[in-house]
Every structure is written in structure tokens, then in C-alpha cells.
Structure 1
Amino acid sequence: MKRRINIQLIGIALIAILSTMVLMTSIFYEVFQKQVKEDLRLETQVLCSTGIFDEDHMDKLNLAVSELRITWISQDGTVLYDNDADIGSMDNHATRPEVEEAFSDGEGETVRRSDTMNANTFYYAVRLEDGSVLRVAREAGSFWSIFESSFPLIAVIILVMTVISIILAHFLTKKLIAPIEQMAGNMDDFSGTPVYKELVPFLTTIRMQHENILEAAKVRQDFTANVSHELKTPLTAISGYAELIENKMVEGEQLEHFAKEIRHNAERLLSLINDIINLSELDRTEDQIQFENLDLCEVVENCSDTLRMNAQQKNLEFSFEGEPCMIRANRDLINELVTNLGENAIRYNRENGSVDIRVFSENGRPVLLVSDTGIGIPKEHQDRIFERFYRVDKSRSKQTGGTGLGLAIVKHIVAIHDASLTLESEEGKGTTIRVEF
């Protein structure tokens, strides 16, 4: 980046230098031309004021002026006098542009270029009182000849200015990049304000990303610790019961109880592993999930058959009602969403309670509503209930077979589908979870 900025600054400086030199040379040449023309006018006026250009002095004309060519032309275009050529061999000048203009307007001027001589000849003609025309000419270098003659000096100036530009470009680049390098070297220090206000949005984004990375690292660290703890508990129980059985320290009804506890903890272990795998899959394949148009009501109705049986085993009333609602979603994930919400409503319910699931459309948006008459969630826990492994009552969760990951999976699935998730709950009265697509 530093090298590119340096090169660009030098390039801009070189373009500016060359453009300025060409432009100044052009302006100088324009001024030079005007000065030559003005000098010719003055010199012509001086010659006219001498009064020597008349028939009485024709034989005595002998002007020795090396830088000027003086030509006297009669009314019919015949050359009467020329200080630089034999008038006998000269053709008629009546059609020369400057002479023709002088005959008609009183004065005329023109510039003729000689490619072979790489020079311009400036002509100025004025009509005299007797009707004849006096023309004065001066040869001057062309634009390119002047440029060529001054090129060594121009080259030296360009070289000096280029060296200065390189030094300044290097200095400016260092000064421009210094605040960015300083900021890059102190990414953890968010107390300072950027030197350039244009960097504020960039720094804000970096800070947010940095905070998100730290938060994600903390979540991952907590998740790893929680997973280790959650897996350790059933494994310890299984190992303990198995050791007692192996050492023949239990028998009869107690043996049957221990076997039942081993099976219970093994099932809990499998549930934990399945939920961890589901979360890992969601994290890894979020961009590869296939969506399709499906009827939310149909998906929920298919899940309701299994949920109804689970509810009946716990003496709970289960009801489902819905209307067709089309959504763009992944069928497997929606099945997982409905199943987790339904099982949570059943798991944390009361004896002879109820679970109600509804699917309807509100303001053109499909809505899934899962309500129960269970134990409810205290207000101080409601903001964290969707965190991984977060439990309001840890002992009850383990007794009912909860892994602490069901609502975390629900939250992840809702986010993948750009839906919204709201929770209303009152301790001792029940919970309602609303998913709006």
C-alpha cells in the first residue's frame, strides 16, 4: 500500500510538471508572437514617418537593416524596392494576403511557416498615403525550434523538480500511512480517536468484529467447558453403577434399579451428543442449507402426531389447529424447530396440564405459536433462556431428560430463516413462544 501510494504521488507530480512545462512554453510562445508583431508595427510606423518612401527618393533607397526585410509595393502589386532581394526577379505581390489586406483595410499581417528552415516569418503591411504598400518582415523561430533550444534548461528543471517530488512523495506517504500503521499496531486499544475521520466507520467495524470474535471465543470456551461437564455427569454415573455391579455389590431389586439408571444416563448421553452434533452441523453448513416452498401447517401437523403421544404419556392435553401458510424454508430444520418447542412444552409442564400449538397468518406473515400451562420462566431468566446449556432449574432439567441445548437450536434455526422469536412467560402459569416468519 505504501509503495503504491508513493508511486501514484510521484506519477501525479511528474504529470503536473510536464503539463506545466508544455503549457508555460505554449503561453510563452504566444506572448513571443504578440511581441514580434507589436515590434513590426512600431518599426513600420518609424519607417513610414521618415517620408523616404516616395517617387523622389526611390533611387536613393538603400536600407541596411539585417534583421528586417523591407519591401515597397506599388498599387498594382509591382515590387518597387526590397532590401534583401533583386526586385527584377520578384513576382507581383498584389495577391499576398498581408498586402491584399493592407490595400483593402489599410493594414494587414500574416505568419508563414518554413518547414525546411524550422522558422516562422512574420509580415506586417501598411498602406501609404500615395496608395502604395510598405511591408516589413522578420524571421523568428517556430514553437518547436524555441522548445528545442530551451530543452536542456527544461530538462534540468524537470529533473530537479522530479527529485524534489520523489522526496516529498516519500515524506507525505510516511505521514499519510503513519496513523493507519499506528492504529493497526494497537488494535486492542479502542480509547483513541482516528486522525482521519474517514477511518471512523472502518475502525467502528473493526471494533465490532473484534468484540464479536472475543464474544464468539468466550461462547466457544464456555460451550466446551459446559459440554465437558454435561458429558462427564452421565458418564460418571454409568461408570459408578457399572463398577458396583461388576464387583457384585448389588443384587435383587437394587440391581434392577442400577440397570435402569445406567440406561437413563446412556439415553441422556445420546441426547446430548445428538444435540451437540445438530448445533455443530448448523454452525458449519449454514451457507449450504437448501430452502424450498413448504406449508408450515402441514409440517407442524406431521410433528404433532409424535408430540401428542408424548403428551398423553404424561397425562397432558394436546391440541393443534392451523391454516395453510406457505414459507420458504428447510423442511428438516422446521421439523427440528417444532419438535424442540413441543418437547420443551411437554417436558416442563404440570400434571394434567395442556400444550397448544397454532399456525396462522397475521398481517400477511406466517406465525407458529406454542403455548403450555407449565412451570413458567422467571423474568430474570427470560433473556438467557436461549443460551446453550442454560437452565432455570438444573435439577429438574436433568430429571426430565433435558440437555439444555433445545432452545439454543431453536434460536439458531430461527436466525437461519430470518424469522423473529418472542417469548412470554409467567412463573407458575406457563409459557408461550411465538415464531414469526
Structure 2
Amino acid sequence: MQMRRALLKKFALVLLAALFLNSLIFYGASSRSILNSTREDMLYILESADSLLEYGGDLNGQVARLELVTDRYDSRLTVIAADGSVAADTGADAASLDNHLGREEVEAALAEGSGYAIRRSATLGRTMLYVAMRSAHSDNVLRLAVPYSGMREYLPLLFPAAMGSFMLALACSIAATERFVSSVTRPLRVISREMLKVRGDYRSLKFEPSPYPEINVIADTTMEMSRDVEEYLARIEKEKQIRQEFFSNASHELKTPITSIQGYAELLEGGLIRDENMQRDFAGRIKKEAVRMTGLINDILMISRLETKEAEVVMTDVRVSVLLEEIVGGLKPQAAAGQVFIHIDCQPLMIRANAQHMRELFTNLIGNAVKYNRPGGQVWVNVRESDRQMVARVRDNGVGIPEDSLDRIFERFYRVDKGRSRKQGGTGLGLSIVKHIVGYYHGTIRVESKLDEGSEFVVTLPMEA
């Protein structure tokens, strides 16, 4: 309602100002029109008098005969010589009048042929309109003076009609303004009501189109904001679900080695195992589970640091070919055990990055290619520089990834083959770490795979971090 009243008030003020300005313009234009019309009529009278006067005869006598007419209309006719002296006048003795050469209308008539002036007459004591014309038959100037009030004379007649028109225009304008304001505020009220009706389901928002594009912009913006809120809430819900799954999987993954360690430790502590070989076997299993648990914790911490970006990361120039040789050297026992052959084709290049990040990225990609392969399988690692970016391809001809799992392989703790993954000792976090590292450097990763034919991972990272 406040907006409605404010709009009505402003429209009313603008309307009043417009009507007032229009009245001033009308008054000025009408005054000018009346003045011009009166001047033309007076010039016509002067031209007629000029053609009737005999300038070689008795001018006073001829002008005196016109006094009956001029007195009737409170006007004066004056004949002025070229030197400004008054030759004849219908209202006074010519000899008693001052020289008129300095009068505005006389100067204009002598210079331009005709002229006029409005001023108060000292002789008659009222405002007069003076129109002067240079004679076409002599050197004299003829001047006619009449009482002049301009538009003031017509105001008593025009005021009632003007006020009536003004009030009618005001009423019509207020009605039009009320209608316009309603057309503006109504869509806003509809938007407000629709927003208040929303109870979590933003898809129910619907707005009727308004005749004003500006109002439609508000409705469209509201709809877009509602969609953004809906997407934001969905993202929060998804992140909440991911966190719950993460904690559940993390606790499960940590519980498994802890349970094994606890079981083996209790057997050793209870003295039930007396065989030294079996004791060493149990100790080795405890160590293996401890290493697995340490690796799991390190992977979780790595993902956490990559997500929060809170830890300070030291950037250096990493020689990729040297790094790959070290990684492949560390994977040789695993590759030899699985009879998998690794081929490296790396262009000599250096990337500005964190060395540990690059080690984790390549170790996980190449390690997975070895781990999920078959006896006699091959792994090809190709690294090239293109458009100031490092493009790394890791391809294998192993077991491949089912198509329905391609969208989930980067999720934490997701395993395509859970039994094989546990047997191989994986934590289920390797590809998630790879994705987080790629995201940390604003790079891209894509995967292509066919079941029983193999997989290819393509990572693109900027050369300068």
C-alpha cells in the first residue's frame, strides 16, 4: 500500500506540474496571439488613415474630425513629424506635447516601417498599446494608442471554463493513474502471494506474464533464484549424503584392519599360538593391516587437504619423465607378479606443481592399470605438452570398467569389483584422489573404457600452476 500511495502521490504532483506548465504556456501563447492580432488591426486602421489624410492641408483639422471615434474607444491618433515633433493629436494640443522622437514605437517605425510598445501613459493614467507606422505618402509617422490589458481582460470569462477543464483533466488523470498503478502493483502482489505459498517446492512457482517487461524481469529473476535455491538445496542434500556415506565407509574401512589387528594381537597375547612360524605370520599380518590402515588414513587426509585447500602447498618444477621412472620402478614387483608390462613414452617436460600431488596422480592411475589387468597385459603411459598444457594418457588392455560404473568410479570408496579390490589391497580412494588433484590445478580428466577390452584415462593440467 505504501508503494501504491507513493506512486499516486508522485503521479498527482507530476500531473499538477504539467497542468500548471500547460496553463502558463497557454497564457503566454494566447497573450502573444491577442497582441499580434490587435497590432495587425491597428496597423490596418493606420494605413486607412494614412490614405485619407492630406498632408499638405490642415492636419489638426483633419485629425480633429476623428476625435469622436477615438474618444469613443479611449484611443488616440497622433501624427508625428520626422524630427519627432507632434504635428497633430486627437487627445491633446499638439503644441503642448513633448518631442516623440525617443519613443520606442516611433524609433522602430522610422527604422523599420512599423513598431509597437506597451507602457503606462502619463497623460491617460493607464496601460496603452502604441502602434506606429511610417507614412507611405509623407515623412510623418502615424501612431495609434489604445487601452491594452492583454489576457487579463479575458480571464473572468476563461477562468470558469479553465477550472472546469482542469478539474475534469485532473479527475481523468487520477483515474488513469489509479488504473496504471494497479497494473503495476497487481503483478507484484501476485509474485508476493506466490512466494508466500511456497513450502519447499519451488517448482510450484508460476507467474502470469505482465504487460510490462520490467515486471516480467522481476518474475523471471524470482523464478531463476528459486531454481538456484532448489539446486543449492539439492547440492547440500547430496553433499550431506556423500558425507554420511564417507563416514560410514571410512569407519567400515578402518574397522576392518583394526578388528584383524585386535584378533591377531589377542591370540598372541593369550599364548594360544606357540609355533614360532605362525607367530611370525600373525605379526606380519598385523603389520600388513597397520600399513593398510596408515595408507587409508593418509588417503583420507590427502582428500581433505585438497578439498579445503587450507594446507600450504609447495610448488616446484617437477620433471615428469624422472618422476615416472621412479613410480614405475616402485610398481615393478606388483607388475611382475601380475605379468603386466608397462611402456613409458614421455616427452621431456617440467610442470609447475607439487611433487607429491603429481606422484599420487600417476601412482594411482598406473597402479590401477596394473592392478586391474590380466596376465600378459599391457599398460601404456604417454605424456605430451600441448598448448601450454600437460596431456597424460594412461591406457591398458585389462578387464575394463562396466558402462554403468563410469559415472561413479571417482566417488570415495567406490569399487567396481569389491572382492578383487580388497584382495589387491586398495582403499577405494585412489581415483577420488586423482580427481581432487586434477580439480586443484583446474585441469580436466576423462575416461573411456570397454568391458574386457581395457580403459584409458586422459588428464590435462596447465604447465604453470
- TM (normalized to structure 2)? 0.70
State the alpha-carbon separation in 2 of the partners of residues 167 and 70 from structure 1.
57
Q: Does 1:392 align with 2:416?
A: yes
**Aligned-residue identity in percent:** 26
In the alignment, which residue of structure 2 is the partner of 1:116?
A: none
Aligned with residue 56 of structure 1, among 37, 61, 65: 61
Q: Does 1:251 align with 2:283?
A: no
Greater mean deviation of Cα atoms: 157-166 or 390-399: 157-166
In the alignment, which residue of structure 2 is the partner of 1:125?
A: 132
**Superposed CA offset, 1:22-63 (max 9, x none):** 254124312222123313433564687689985324446374
Q: Does 1:228 align with 2:235?
A: no
After TM superposition, the structure 1 = structure 2 runs for residues 31-430 of structure 1, keeping only pairs within 5 Å, are 31-42=30-41, 45=44, 55-59=60-64, 61=67, 63-64=70-71, 70-76=76-82, 77-79=84-86, 80-81=88-89, 83=91, 91-103=98-110, 106-110=113-117, 123-127=130-134, 131=138, 132-136=141-145, 138-140=147-149, 171=182, 174-185=185-196, 186=198, 188-190=201-203, 193-196=206-209, 197-198=216-217, 199-200=219-220, 203-204=223-224, 206-208=226-228, 210-236=230-256, 238-239=258-259, 242=262, 245-246=265-266, 248=270, 250-252=272-274, 259-285=283-309, 294=317, 298-299=319-320, 301-315=322-336, 316-325=340-349, 333-351=357-375, 353-362=377-386, 365-430=389-454
**Are the aligned partners of 2:342 and 2:379 in contact in 1 as well (CA < 8 Å)?**
yes
CA separation of 1:260 and 1:142: change in aligned 2, threshold 3 A: farther
**Are the aligned partners of 1:9 and 1:169 in contact in 2 as well (CA < 8 Å)?**
no
Q: Cα offset for 1:259?
A: 4.7
Q: Cα offset for 1:423?
A: 1.4
Q: Cα offset for 1:140?
A: 4.4
**Are the aligned partners of 2:381 and 2:395 in contact in 1 as well (CA < 8 Å)?**
yes
**Superposed CA offset, 1:161-218 (max 9, x none):** 9988996786455324224424544373325554455344663464255225403421
CA separation of 1:382 and 1:122: change in aligned 2, threshold 3 A: farther
State the alpha-carbon separation in 1 of the partners of residues 93 and 418 from structure 2.
126
State the alpha-carbon separation in 1 of the partners of residues 380 and 4 from structure 2.
66
State the alpha-carbon separation in 2 of the partners of residues 291 and 209 from structure 1.
37
State the alpha-carbon separation in 1 of the partners of residues 263 and 314 from structure 2.
49
| Cα root mean square deviation, aligned | 4.7
**Are the aligned partners of 1:356 and 1:370 in contact in 2 as well (CA < 8 Å)?**
yes
CA separation of 1:223 and 1:47: change in aligned 2, threshold 3 A: same
Output the amino acid matched with 2:100. Answer: H
CA separation of 1:22 and 1:192: change in aligned 2, threshold 3 A: same
- TM (normalized to structure 1)? 0.74
State the alpha-carbon separation in 2 of the partners of residues 23 and 290 from structure 1.
74
**Are the aligned partners of 2:443 and 2:460 in contact in 1 as well (CA < 8 Å)?**
yes
State the alpha-carbon separation in 2 of the partners of residues 82 and 333 from structure 1.
116
**Superposed CA offset, 1:260-312 (max 9, x none):** 444444444333333333333333339x99897956xx145325403421233
CA separation of 1:274 and 1:194: change in aligned 2, threshold 3 A: farther
**Are the aligned partners of 2:119 and 2:127 in contact in 1 as well (CA < 8 Å)?**
yes
CA separation of 1:334 and 1:108: change in aligned 2, threshold 3 A: farther
**Are the aligned partners of 1:385 and 1:391 in contact in 2 as well (CA < 8 Å)?**
yes
Q: Cα offset for 1:351?
A: 4.3
**Are the aligned partners of 1:13 and 1:165 in contact in 2 as well (CA < 8 Å)?**
no
Please state whether the residue corresponding to 1:251 is helix, strand or coil.
coil
Q: Which runs of 5+ in 2 are unaligned?
A: 54-58, 121-125, 210-215
State the alpha-carbon separation in 2 of the partners of residues 280 and 121 from structure 1.
99
Bigger Rg, structure 1 or 2: 2
State the alpha-carbon separation in 2 of the partners of residues 134 and 413 from structure 1.
103
State the alpha-carbon separation in 2 of the partners of residues 325 and 49 from structure 1.
110
